[in-house]
Structure 1
Amino acid sequence: MMLDHRWIATHIPHQGRMCLLESVEQWDADHILCGATSHQAPDHPLRTAQGLNITAGVEYAAQAMAVHGALTTAEAAAARQGYLTSVRDVQWRQPWLHTAPGPLQVHAERLSANGLTVLYGFRIDVHGHNLLSGRATVVLDAERL
């Protein structure tokens, strides 16, 4: 079942133009695949005068992780705020994201979780070509620490 931008915007804290994802194409307990075309918008909120740097892809991945958390948390459970605390092993294959010729496929895979932190692997592809990949750690409910 595909979920749209409206669903995403009501389930993650990113609002307005900062809600970068347009769809959830697939998901299960450990994986999510989201789609986006906002990287090509000339008024993208993260774009500089030179363009949209490839590192903005980390924000796309973080939003996919947030959506995955919303989808895998029981509705009866209180929503948990997550904070991206570490990004590692990031590799990019081009300097700019805005030049990617087509919709982004934003993949995130939950690699481990212990109730307080979640480790995700992520990658962003366009037409099967990898643009960016890495790992990210999310701390849940950090305000309680």
Structure 2
Amino acid sequence: MAVSDSRCNETEIRALLFHAERMVLWQSVEAWDDNSLSCSTSTHNDVKNPLRRDGALSSIHLAEYGAQMMAIHGALLVRKNTGGTLAPGVLTSLKDFEMHVPRIDDISAVLTGTAKVLISGASGSIYEFSIDAGDRRVASGRVSVLTLPGATTST
């Protein structure tokens, strides 16, 4: 992966996303280019993770981890290309989502994720993603986002 910018830490990721507090799930961007990025996190081990229910964090929530990688990548691209911020969007579909574990709060390994652009344009984007814990694949799928009508990036 050819890196087009330096790595991003959690503070920088927070500035890129519309999410707040503990809903920012990725802690580091390890590398990125115009077509993909890779991230890492240990937020699945946070007992105060807001996605937990009854003390457990289901692997279904890895769909949100995948969607956030897409948003981070889109925001990095907008910042690089225009100096602006990402326009708001709506998650429109999750396809071919596969979960290989029932829950993720019991995984001690750092989660690493990769997101790759399949289609991107003014009206939205489609990405494929995969998330691993060590050498074990825990989830993969495709996420589509529709840019909200009238939404623009700000500069």
- State the match for 2:146 in structure 1: 139
2:47–2:55 CA contact under 8 A, matched in 1: no
Matches within 5 A, 1:63-78: 63-73=68-78, 74-77=81-84
- State the match for 2:60 in structure 1: 55
- State the match for 2:19 in structure 1: 14
AA of the residue aligned to 1:110: V
Task: Spell out, residue by residue over 1:72-114, the C-alpha distance to the aligned partner (whole angstroms, 9 max, x if none).
Answer: 1123445311221100111111100112221110211111123
2:16–2:85 CA contact under 8 A, matched in 1: no
Task: Spell out, residue by residue over 1:117-140, the C-alpha distance to the aligned partner (whole angstroms, 9 max, x if none).
Answer: 211001110112100000010111
1:66–1:82 CA contact under 8 A, matched in 2: no
AA of the residue aligned to 1:144: G
1:35–1:104 CA contact under 8 A, matched in 2: yes
- State the match for 2:127 in structure 1: 120
SS of 1:99's partner is: coil
- State the match for 1:82 in structure 2: 89
AA of the residue aligned to 1:118: S
TM-score, normalising length: structure 1? 0.93
SS of 2:11's partner is: helix
Equivalent position to 1:101, from 104, 108, 113 = 108
Segments of 4+ in structure 1 off by > 2 A?
74-79
SS of 2:96's partner is: strand
TM-score, normalising length: structure 2? 0.87
Structure 2 residue runs without a partner (length 5+): 1-5
Q: How many residues align?
A: 144
SS of 1:3's partner is: coil
1:4–1:22 CA contact under 8 A, matched in 2: yes
AA of the residue aligned to 2:39: C
The alignment-based identity, stated in percent, is 30
